[in-house]
Amino acid sequence: MRHWFVSVLVLAGLLGACGPKDSGGENAVVIKAAEGGVVEAGGAKLTIPPGVLSRDSRVSLELKAKPSEPQDNPLRAAGPQVGLDLGGASLNAPATLELPTDPTSPEGSVVVLETVANPEPDGPRLWVHAATPVGAGSAGVSGQTVPAKVAYAVRRVGLYTAYVVPRPKPQEGGVRSLQVPFYYQAGLPWCTPTSLSMVINYHRPQPALASNPKSPGGFASNYGLASLIKQSPSSGAGAGSILKAAGVPEGAYSYLRWDAELVPSDNTSGGSNAFTAYVAIATTGFFGLFPAKPVWTASDRLWHAFVLTGVTKDGVYVADSNARPDTDWNGTHPSMTWKAFRDANCTLKDPSDPTKGCADSGDPNKPDLETIVFLNEPKPEAERRGSIELSHGETVYFGGVGFPFPASLIFRNPSNQVISRWKWDGAYPNGYYFNDEATTLPTFPYGRNLVQDNEFRYLIYRSSRMEASFNVVNVTDVALDFEVEARLYVAGAMKAQRFANVSVEAYDLEPLDLDFGNLAGAVGTVGGPTPARLELNLRQGGALQDVKHIAFKLAPDPADLPKVRILVPSAPTTLLKGEPFTFRGEGFDAHTLPDGRARLAWFEGATPLGNGGQYTLTPSAAGSRTLTLVATGEYGLQAAASVSVNVIDPTRTPGEIVIVEPKNGAEYWSPDINQPMVDVPLVGYATYSNGAAVPGERLVWTAQAQGGTEVEVGRGSSLNVRLVGGRNYKLPYTIRLTVLSDSGQPIGSKTVTITAGYTYVG
């Protein structure tokens, strides 16, 4: 493995320590802060203006040997390393450091490479600065002869070296993008782990990742990387912290910070083209001499990370985890001109004069760029043709508008209602969790449906239907056929398998849905929380392209029974032969979505009568009848309630008015707390003086609460009404049955007295 900047990294912590010295050696001068001063050593020169040094101090310069870099490093050392030590003081403003250069250095863009003595936490140690030519050959900054010296406005102690980025010849420019796997950040501020997973999976597996189950076979995922630093779905992250947490050593990659002013308006003229040349050399491998590498890039100004995958005649190919292949690529890999790239990533010193370049002072708070190039070998081309693009199931809000993103894994109950969606969150051990969809339903009265779990937030019931939905991305410039294999493992054993073939056009994607059906048949019985895992494997021409694992836990199906009750009649009741009466009941199940209502069915003995919350019975004969209401829960458990009624065939007496129900003195109480409405059955009949039965439409029922007004509540021989009960007391009611004549005039009535009440809890 080649290690770019090995010598620089080693010396970063050894300023002023051992190592070969240039012929100029070391020089130290005591400088008074108020007066300023100059320190020179072997061609290097530091000029500190008056008032810039924080206090009087001994300031030293030390020359070290010119670094030797591997041949495939796009940056070539152009002079000795120069260590700057301020003796414990600091600089209140920039001082000028002149660095000597080697006249034998290759032509190109000259920059100053700073090894920061105290880098930002998990930030790059190496900082690439724009250099100002000093002396003969100053045209070297634009790619001609290297100047005799270069100057840089230093701000802190550190190790400084003149470097050259060799200038590519025009005919050597790249012509197409590298085949870098594409992944989607799906609206979350997860550009860093998503783009890092792109470049990591371009290369052969990193040993630290290959041994981590969060990156199976060394294949990284954004959620797996986010979990290493517990990145929330609403926060960003730094690349250094992720790689450190992953155990990837610093020697496995080159991590640089670039002054934004190094990005030119084009790649042929005008200002420094160091960054352009660096990207061109890295993404072409010195134009075929070495393996080509993508350049991971982060922009301070955009607060965004992306991957540079090649150069065009006047710009660069960009793989952006926010730009979709099917909507933004349009069959060609996205690219942008260098001018557009600079406009997006730098703040102009003078907005009215772009030729003055970008505002930059080397201040970490100013807009800059960071890059990472991994040093391990790329995978063979045949293993970098496609990728699996997943998405979380969250709704992300932009400007107050919600944008729902589909979940790549969802679970449904036996009734096909969604019960859980896969969601990304690095705070969970695997970088994701599964929600309880019931908690999002305002109509669900039980709060939760699923069983809670520390690792995944919720467990998935065994009798759930599993659906995987994802996109297959083609990152090549030709149409290809891909093969997908999906495996379900439960307790370490493979329980189910699905296969699919999909054709994808060049630089495009195709959606794929895999339905595993109800898992109960494949899984069998589970005695408690049981680990499970969905494995997705993507192949092209038999070569493995990508691997994604999504773990979860299965739980036994719920064992709690549904609840059921018959509301009307709530107690044994007398009915009339030939007169319809409507029975009403309800059932609840803590696992039936969306409203917790169980499936209901009415029976008389083993004979089914009807389904639903109501059933109307018209008795054809006198006698005792028992009706049963059965509630069935989502997972098949049942509960039942019964009520008996006595059917009579009354012997009619002319002029008689009879109230069968309610009985005089009956007491009714609401079955629900804080529910004031009380069900009361009304059953009665009457006979005209000539012996004819009074039809139902001439039987008028009224109710009058104590101290209230008498109101009509219904007409007929058999009905049910709802009366307002007394709050925590029995409110007396007078129930009256009035008989009307043929002309609609009342000709007689009868009354009974009852009470109605309910329990109130404030």
Mean of pLDDT values over 567-571: 92
Is 697 in contact with 744 (CB distance < 8 Å)? no
Q: Are strands 746-758 and 667-669 parallel, antiparallel or unpaired?
A: parallel
Banded model confidence at residue 323, pLDDT cuts 50, 70, 90: confident
Give 47's contacts (C-beta < 8 A, 6+ positions apart).
36, 38, 95, 96, 97, 98
Structure tokens, 272: 């420094």
* Across 273-287, 415-429, 641-655, 737-751, least confident range: 273-287
The residue among 388, 281, 352 whose CA lies nearest residue 4 is 281
Task: Give the integer Cα–Cα distance in Å for 591 and 258.
Answer: 56
Give 500-545 pLDDT, tens digit per residue.
Answer: 999 999 999 999 999 999 999 999 999 999 999 999 999 999 999 9
Query: SS3 for 356?
Result: helix
Give 757's contacts (C-beta < 8 A, 6+ positions apart).
667, 668, 669, 670, 678, 725, 726, 727, 728, 729, 730, 731
- Checking if the pLDDT of 564 tops 80, the result is yes
Q: Are strands 149-154 and 158-166 parallel, antiparallel or unpaired?
A: unpaired
Paired residues of 719 in beta bridges: 682
Put the strands of the sheet holding 149-154 in their side by side order.
Answer: 37-41, 44-48, 95-100, 149-154, 132-134
Q: What is the mean pLDDT of the chain?
A: 89
Q: What pTM was computed for the model?
A: 0.85
- Count of other CB atoms within 10 angstroms of residue 101: 28
Task: Give the integer Cα–Cα distance in Å for 714 and 691.
Answer: 24
Task: Give the integer Cα–Cα distance in Å for 77 and 84.
Answer: 18
3-state helix vs strand vs coil in the chain, percent to 5: 15, 45, 45
Report which DSSP code applies to 636: S
The amino acid present at 369, given as its one-letter code, is L
Higher pLDDT, 734 or 74: 734
Rg (CA), the chain: 40
- Checking if the pLDDT of 120 tops 90, the result is no
Peptide bond just before 662 cis, omega within 30 deg: yes
Helix (H) or strand (E) holding 500: strand 493-504
Taking phi over 0 as left and psi of -120 to 50 as alpha, with beta for the rest, 2 belongs to: beta
* Across 112-121, 180-189, 292-301, 464-473, least confident range: 112-121
Q: Are strands 44-48 and 57-64 parallel, antiparallel or unpaired?
A: unpaired
The residue among 322, 273, 270 whose CA lies nearest residue 299 is 322
What are the two backbone dihedrals, phi and then psi, of residue 228, each rounded to the nearest 5 degrees?
-65, -25
The amino acid present at 292, given as its one-letter code, is A
* Helix residue ranges, H only, 332-394: 338-345
Give 117's contacts (C-beta < 8 A, 6+ positions apart).
12, 15, 156, 157, 158, 159
Is 527 in contact with 491 (CB distance < 8 Å)? no
Q: Are strands 95-100 and 76-85 parallel, antiparallel or unpaired?
A: unpaired
In degrees, rounded to 5, the angle at the alpha carbon of residue 497 between the alpha carbons of residues 492 and 501 is: 140
Task: Give the integer Cα–Cα distance in Å for 276 and 128.
Answer: 13
Tokens 């400084």, residue located:
160
Give 250-261 pLDDT, tens digit per residue.
Answer: 999 999 999 877
Pick the most confident of 355-359, 367-371, 438-442.
Answer: 438-442
- Checking if the pLDDT of 24 tops 60, the result is no
pLDDT, residue 270, reads: 42
Give 710-748 pLDDT, tens digit per residue.
Answer: 999 999 999 999 999 999 999 999 999 999 999 999 999
The amino acid present at 550, given as its one-letter code, is I
Q: Are strands 457-458 and 149-154 parallel, antiparallel or unpaired?
A: unpaired
Q: What is the DSSP track for 244-266?
A: HHHT--GGGEEEEEEEGGGS-SS
Mean of pLDDT values over 683-691: 95
Task: Give the integer Cα–Cα distance in Å for 516 and 467.
Answer: 6
* Across 285-299, 305-319, 362-376, 604-618, least confident range: 362-376
Domains of the chain, start order? 6-167 (2.60.220.30), 172-379 (3.90.70), 395-555 (2.60.40.10), 560-649 (2.60.40.10), 650-762 (2.60.40.10)
Is 445 in contact with 461 (CB distance < 8 Å)? no
